[in-house]
């Protein structure tokens, strides 16, 4: 199985940029001259700060009847949503639709759950996120 990993870094304030790569566990390092004006600077709003799958908001929390879940997923596949009790026992499991790269919303009927603390989990393509939710009558 072939794997490639590349990363780069600057040394000092010079125009020397180093690129390291690992291909099939063989590591090499090369020195490159670059124009500093051509460097892309990443900031907090860059894609590197975004999680591939994330529960953005759950409201209201606590809830008694309905709960709105807002989530983000970077790829267009179905999401698996699980409701667990505080011991980790799965109470419900749903498969929900997803649109990649936008905020998605799902209305969850929580009226059948007793008052208490629960764990809301979402899964997609090897990624997951979870939030504590409260049901209050």
d(CA 47, CA 54) in angstroms, rounded, equals 13
Could you identify the residue written with the tokens 């690992």? 22
pLDDT in tens, 71-119: 999 888 899 999 999 999 999 999 998 888 899 999 999 999 999 999 9
pLDDT in tens, 20-78: 444 444 544 455 555 544 444 433 333 434 578 999 999 999 999 999 999 999 888 89
pLDDT of residue 31: 52
Domain ranges of the chain: 4-38, 47-135
CATH topology classification for 47-135: Immunoglobulin-like (2.60.40)
> Cβ atoms within 10 A of the Cβ of 37, count?
5
pLDDT in tens, 4-25: 444 444 444 444 444 444 444 4
């Amino acid at each position: 199985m072939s794997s490639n990993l590349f990363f780069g870094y600057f040394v000092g304030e010079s125009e020397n940029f180093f690129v390291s790569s690992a291909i099939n566990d063989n590591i090499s390092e090369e020195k490159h001259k670059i124009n500093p004006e051509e460097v892309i600077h990443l900031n907090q709003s860059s894609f590197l700060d975004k999680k591939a799958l994330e529960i953005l908001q759950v409201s209201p929390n606590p809830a008694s009847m309905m709960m709105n879940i807002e989530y983000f997923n970077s790829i267009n596949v179905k999401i698996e949503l699980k409701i667990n009790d505080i011991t980790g026992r799965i109470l419900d499991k749903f498969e929900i639709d997803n649109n990649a790269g936008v905020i998605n919303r799902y209305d969850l009927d929580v009226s059948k759950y007793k008052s208490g603390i629960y764990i809301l989990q979402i899964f997609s393509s090897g990624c997951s996120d979870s939030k504590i939710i409260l049901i209050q009558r």
